[in-house]
Amino acid sequence: MSLVAEASAGLRRSLPPARASRGLVVASLAVCAVMVTPLAYLALRAAEADASSWDLILRMRTVWLTLRTLGLAAAVTIAAVAVGVPLAWLTTRTDLPGRRAWAVLVSLPLVIPSYVGAFALIAAFGPRGMLQQLLEAPLGVERLPDITGFPGAFIALTLFTYPYVFLLVSAGIKGLDPSIEDASRSLAHTRWTTFRRVTLPSLRPSIAAGGLLVALYALHDFGAVSLMRFPAFTQAIYLQYKGAFDRTPAALLSLMLVGLALAVLVLEQRARGRARYYRSGAGTARRVTPIELGKWTWPSLVLCGSVTLFALVGPLAVIVFWLIRGFAAGTDIELTLAPAVGSLVVASAAALAAVASAFPIARLVARHQGGFTRSVERLSYTGYALPGIVAALAFVFFASNFAPWLYQSLPLVVIAYVVLFLPQATEPLRGALMQMGPRVEEAGRALGRTRRHVYLSVVAPLIARGALAGAALVFLTSMKELPATLLLRPTGFDTLATSIWTGAAAGLYSKAAAPALLLIAICAVPLYVLVRRVEVEKIEVPAE
Amino acid sequence: MKLRKLIGTAAAAALVLGLAGCGDDATPAGATEPDDDAGASLTVYSGRDEEFVGPLYEQFETDTGITLDVRYGDSAELAATIMEEGDSSPADVFVSQDAGSLGAVAAEGLLAQIDQEILDRVDERFRSSEGTWVGLSGRARVAAYNTDELTEADLPDSILGFTDPQWKGRIGFAPTNSSFQAFVAGMIATEGEDATREFLEGLVANDPRLYEDNSSTVRGVAAGEIEVGFVNHYYKYEVAAEDGEIPVENHFFTGGDPGALVNAAGAGILTSSKDPDAATRLLDYLTGEQGQTYFAEETWEYPVVDGYAPAVELVALDDIESPEIDLSDLAGTLEPALDLLAEVGLL
């Protein structure tokens, strides 16, 4: 039994299967009704399958595809946790020099779209890429080893997804009650033992949540795997649409991908563990004495520096290079603001809508475990498991035929984003609700306050951090979204992602570079606020 | 921006209503007709990039007074979109990068019969045999080679020559690209599956470098990552327009070689179009002087109408003797091509 479980035994109890209120059930059913759209579409298309479509799917190649894709997702998840957790701990609990700046820098790769990042990696580290050209004169290196294939896909996905783990685990660490660690230290345990036996087990839910987001991202991502030429599941789906124009096998493959995602979800539910980790309230948060790194300072700096170099500086340098070369060649690079405004509007709306939709689901999962909750939770993940084009075609089909007034409108784009990214809002909210514990609300109610009052004055402030993190994640991911935006946007409506696509599709990197830089710059702002806000909170608490 | 659009749409709608009140002349469309469609508006799904065809669409708007609402996207994705929309599609015209996407939409019965006068202008190889889509420009498969490393004389006459072991580690292409897949499908159609498999296995044995798309392949050739890349002929010009002078030349395959497939970018009118007359005007324009000259000069392609010549130095279509394949059927034979590519490990 882990120390934390012993230490927090007083706070811990197994939850009685309390009945969810009718409002909560109705709200979650409403969310599910929208979330089920892609599945309903896929079922409809799969129902058209005849023997030949099944023949296409049921063969050895599909087994290899499954194993390869799962292998990639597993490797990326392990690597993202291995990178994200130490970075989170270093930037929140130690005296690492410049740790607040590092916290911002190492979260920034989240805003780099994986298709842009992968492209930049190839340009930088390809056999005759920019790095080779730098090395040719001094060292005579004529070509570097090819990174495409599994290594490239693995590196690209890890570099651009570990921030999910980093952000969720950072939030998890900040939500921990430091007195439990102090208790462990007072029992003469070393820092390492304390980290291993107290901190790490308490972080299990946030590590599992971050890992889940990474694993599902790796399953549904198409941009990075296709650029790195790694034949994954999504590539097989795209080939059916784009090469063979056959929607039925594409639907069968997509349903299998959803199946894989659900399997991953079950794994995560196991990893999350039965135990509940929460403290009695926010009152115990206070300034934590940072751990002195001592001789570990330099290795830690090297870790932060190299992650920043590969995941942020590298891609940025390549984009800036393209831009400068474009200017030098006199390419007509115009930077219009309309796409930026378009991106901001839909991504903000999606962030708000996603948090609102995530709340009933997160609450069900955190408070009312049971069969109904499990179904709702799993359903809410199906959109996130699918490549954007599949969800987009589902909305094309339903909206154009049954709701033409909604078709090719901004609200539809927002709805599609929510379906695609809902778990990014659910996970942090659930984490916050779980850390809060049910007794807080019970106490409020016992003191004679109305449910609404308890929510506004007690619950809302405590879960604000989770809601903010969720909104930020959905906002950032929506800013980067491309396939669904292309198919569902109103005609003539541009976002930064579609502007990047317009340039890149024509092979004009300099034209893609300007909107890419603007996208990263705009996304950096909310990310900076998110990372800093948590810092500020912590400083203010002891002053109260 | 949105407001302007709204006002524009409202104005267009008012004009349409006004014109409808003036009575219908029912004149057949043609290049010399007066602007009786002025005020009409069309929704175009364009699989061709804004960068390359945007100016042509704008010119059409100016010349005819017909407003175009152009929705840009990937040809195959737009084809899938139209297939999902079915009869509810808001699109009037589908402009595609390749014949395969048009063939797929036509196979679902979603493309209408095109005016015979327009069809007749276009070389028979580059239009649907059922008259449901028409080619706008031609694009030849070539071997783009690095001129620092090779001369024309070093290159084999047939694409089959690249299976020779001397090309090991020197070639590259983009197997997920639809024009490469169309070439493989064409080869299956003319040479048979076994010969195609043998060819692909020969390529694989030569350890080709695989790229994401044609322009990256040409950039790979220019950078010396590979010496020869199998691409469409115009990418050399596109990349040069962006990157400046590059040491790359096109090597054409001729005399009906399986490597010599010439594919067509084209367009079709949707059966659900609300204004087939205006849509016909657009196709008329694109296959007319403005369109054909534009594709020759601005996108470095082959015009497909008699009387227009390529603007850059290209091997004449008659010398290429592209293998005789119905381009619409390529969509149907793509499945075996994809299978074969997967079987030899290229996908």
B137 CA to chain A: closest CA distance, Å?
17
Phi, psi of A387 (to 5 degrees): -65, 150
pLDDT digits (tens, 9 = 90+) for A61-115: 788 889 999 999 999 999 999 999 999 989 988 888 988 889 989 998 988 888 8
Q: In the A/B pair of chains, how many CB contacts fall below 8 A? A: 125
What is the rounded CA–CA span in Å between residue B39 and residue A362?
52
Phi first, then psi, for residue A279 (nearest 5°) are -115, 175
Instruction: Write B119-123 long-range contacts (CB < 8 A, 24+).
Output: B121/B287, B121/B305, B121/B306, B122/B287, B122/B304, B122/B305, B123/B304, B123/B305, B123/B306, B123/B317
Among A100, A320, A83, which residue's Cα sits nearest to residue A211? A83
Residues 6+ apart with CB under 8 A from B258: B158, B159, B160, B186, B187, B190, B191, B199, B323
A244, B239: Cβ pair inside 8 Å? no
Q: Report residue B102 as tokens.
A: 């048009």
Closest CA relative to residue A10, chosen from A439, A429, A447: A439
Kind of pairing between the strands at B134-146 and B209-210: unpaired
Query: Which token pair is B169?
Result: 């580690």
Report yes or no: B75 and B109 within 8 Å, Cβ to Cβ: no
Interface of A with B in 487-506 (CB under 8 A): 487, 491-492, 502-503, 505-506
> Residue A440 is encoded by which pair of tokens?
């807080």
What's the confidence (pLDDT) of residue A132? 81
The reported pLDDT for the residue numbered A13 is 43
The conformation of residue B224, written as its DSSP 8-state character, comes to T
0.90 surpassed by complex ipTM: no
The number of angstroms, rounded, from the C-alpha of A162 to the middle of its chain's C-alpha atoms is 9
What are the pLDDT digits (tens) for A435-489? 776 777 777 778 877 777 777 777 777 788 788 888 989 999 999 999 999 999 9
Angle at CA B201, nearest 5°, toward B196 and B207?
A: 135
Strand partners, A291: A94
CB contact under 8 A, A506 and B49: yes
Which of A21-30, A423-432, B318-327 is predicted with the least confidence, judged by mean pLDDT?
B318-327
Residue-level pLDDT at A111: 86
Task: List C-alpha distances in Å: B109 to A239, B82, B86, B88, B271.
Answer: 22, 11, 9, 13, 8
The one-letter code for the residue type at A372 is F
pLDDT at A99: 86
pLDDT at A518 over 80: yes
* Per-residue pLDDT in tens (0 to 9) along chain B, 347 residues: 444 444 444 444 444 333 333 333 334 444 444 455 667 999 999 999 888 899 999 999 999 999 999 999 999 999 999 999 999 999 999 999 988 899 999 999 999 999 999 999 998 889 998 999 999 999 999 999 999 999 999 999 999 999 999 999 999 999 988 889 889 988 998 889 999 999 999 999 999 998 888 988 999 999 888 999 999 999 999 888 888 889 999 999 988 888 888 999 999 999 999 999 999 999 999 999 999 999 999 999 999 999 999 988 888 888 888 887 778 777 667 788 888 898 888 87
Residue A156 contacts residue A117 (beta carbons within 8 Å): yes
Q: Determine the residue of chain B that is closest to A336 in CA distance.
A: B1
H/E segment holding residue B230:
strand B228-232
Q: What is the residue-wise DSSP string for A435-447?
A: HH-HHHHHHHHHT
Residue A228 reports pLDDT greater than 80:
yes
* CB B147 within 8 Å of CB B107: no
Q: Give dist(CA A407, CA A499) in Å, integer.
A: 21
Angle at B69 between CA B110 and CA B306, to 5 degrees: 65
- Closest by alpha carbon to A77, among A202, A165, A13, A175? A165
Facing A338 at nearest CB: one of B1, B52, B76: B1
Residues A159 and A311: beta-carbon distance below 8 Å: yes
- Residues of chain A contacting B71 with CB distance shorter than 8 Å: 491-492
The average confidence (pLDDT) of chain A is: 83
Q: What is the DSSP pairing of strand B67-72 with strand B41-46?
A: parallel
pLDDT band at A138 (very low <50, low <70, confident <90, very high): confident
Tokens encoding B279: 């849509």
**pLDDT at residue A286, as a whole number:** 56
Whether the Cβ atoms of residue A271 and residue A204 lie closer than 8 Å to each other: yes
Position B33 scores a pLDDT of 47
- Which pLDDT value is given to residue A456? 76
Residue with the two structure tokens 């475990």: A369
pLDDT digits 0-9 by tens, A378-410: 898 889 989 899 999 999 999 999 999 999 999
Q: What does pTM read for this prediction?
A: 0.86
